Chains A and B, each alone.
Chain A
Amino acid sequence: GQNIDQPTEMTATEGAIVQINCTYQTSGFNGLFWYQQHAGEAPTFLSYNVLDGLEEKGRFSSFLSRSKGYSYLLLKELQMKDSASYLCATYNQAGTALIFGKGTTLSVSS
């Protein structure tokens, strides 16, 4: 089976840095995905980590530690538009289902 845990809510201010953590237990790990979902909209793909380490993509970075079953999404220079739900996800072992955590709702204030 699979289990994915992430904090329910986080708050931060404009210009700050925030780290959203995700822990997972899965049989047959095949990489970890991060998605962003604004209210009433479709989830959009942010990043995919399959090897340990940090992947940087503009203001967003994602980190993976396979031995610890742990990932985080790092958002720098926060903007109001970054207020959204951030979803952590992994595939099942067969690759037939992308399983999501419950999501972390980030609120950015001025």
Chain B
Amino acid sequence: ETGVTQSPTHLIKTRGQQVTLRCSSQSGHNTVSWYQQALGQGPQFIFQYYREEENGRGNFPPRFSGLQFPNYSSELNVNALELDDSALYLCASSPGQGPGEYSPLHFGNGTRLTVT
């Protein structure tokens, strides 16, 4: 059991639509990261939140945004969906105390997003 849960498991959207993916981190984990994983590839870092503030961002456009809440839940929002956004989206949490803490990440099982 990973302790990190994501919803929904699968989702189908149309190009141009908006989507919200949700994650519930392990209790006490103040850091949450989101990744995009295309088939056959490693996870690509989207952004990281620590105590409800974004403190790191990968090479993704502004239409990818997020929120982290005090109850250890978080969201990934993607606007103006494109076909290339079809991927597995992974949420991961860690007990790290913020930047400079190199803790292992604990992943959820992901949300499989298909954009048609």
Contact = CB atoms under 8 A, between A and B. Distances in A.
Q: Does A associate with B in a complex?
A: yes
Interface of A: 30-31, 33, 41-45, 48, 50, 87, 89, 91-92, 94-103, 105
Contact of B42 (A44, A48, A87, A91): A87
B66 interface: no
B: contact size bracket: 20 to 34
Interface in B75-116: 90, 92, 96, 98-102, 104-110
B58 A97 contact: yes
19 contacts: A31-B102, A33-B104, A41-B109, A42-B108, A43-B90, A50-B102, A87-B43, A91-B102, A95-B96, A95-B98, A95-B100, A96-B48, A96-B56, A97-B33, A97-B45, A98-B92, A100-B42, A100-B44, A103-B40
B2 A94 contact: no
Contacts of B96: 95
B90 A96 contact: no
A103 B99 contact: no
B55 interface: yes
Contacts of A95: 96, 98-102
Interface of B: 2, 4, 33, 35, 40-45, 48, 55-56, 58, 90, 92, 96, 98-102, 104-110
A42 B2 contact: yes
Nearest to B50: A96
Contact of B104 (A45, A101, A102, A103): A45
A39 B104 CA distance: 20
Given A42-B90, A44-B2, A48-B104, 4 more contacts: A45-B105, A87-B42, A96-B55, A98-B45
